[in-house]
Amino acid sequence: MAKNFPVTHQRGFSAVAVTTFIFLYAPLAVALVLAFNAGTSAAKWEGFSLRWFQSAANNQQVIAASILSLKLAAISAVLATAAATLAALAMTRGPRFRGWTFTYGVISVPLMVPEIVTAVALLVVSATLRGWTGYTGLTYLIVAHTAFCVPFAYLPIRARLQTMDISLERAAGDLYASPWNAFRFVTMPLFFPGVLAGFILAFVTSLDDVVITEFVKTAGQDTLPTYMLGQVRRTITPEVNAIAAVFFVISVALVICIYAVNQRTKIN
């Protein structure tokens, strides 16, 4: 009879785990601490202060870039989640069809292809459309972010649908529920945590994207990440750390939201 060898009991596991966490989170901790630096150096501690948070809050460029980032991320995440939900339902609840594997591969392409390749392709498409139409609005960024975020939203939604007990949906049908009522009152509440997780993952992915945004955007369409990149190229101040700290708090809040919804679903 084969013996089980838990990975946590392997020699050196704790040392490797601790080292990994240090490499992952030590730079983040340093950046968060230096966000409260009283001096002008982004690398040397000169006392505690909230001046750089106040500076960022009073910076009109930061405010405009933040509003654009949130608007772009929200719209792109909604569209990507809607498309990913329909795709996940078709791939998990529909009958197996010819080209099923190819379709799954197409959905997963943005995860496998280097982002710079996707950015160049989107740049060519958007530049061509600008030349034809003369339109230079935000739609190009929305479409680009939506296309890039679909697989990020698709994975948690599909995973949730695959782990659901399909007998509940069949029972609803046996009790004469229409397909729409079965979906509305049985399927949707059960896989909603997956939809929420997909939405938040797409939102965060869009919110912090730099490469695609930098290639597709036009003048006056700086998002917060591209604004920060421009500031770092000129000079680094603790204001950049303060903005990063706010991003970190938003990300943690979203993760807590997902965890709370999942726990509530398990309890119910």
pLDDT score recorded for residue 74: 92
Give the chain's domain count: 1
Domain holding 125, by residue range, is: 59-266
SS3 225: helix
Q: Is residue 41 included in any domain, yes or no?
A: no
Q: Is residue 164 included in any domain, yes or no?
A: yes
Instruction: For the full predicted model, state whether its pTM sits above 0.75.
Output: yes
Low-confidence ranges of the chain (pLDDT < 70): 1-5, 7-9, 42, 94, 174, 261-268
Give the domain CATH number at 77.
Answer: 1.10.3720.10
pLDDT score recorded for residue 127: 87
Q: Is residue 45 included in any domain, yes or no?
A: no
Q: Is residue 40 included in any domain, yes or no?
A: no
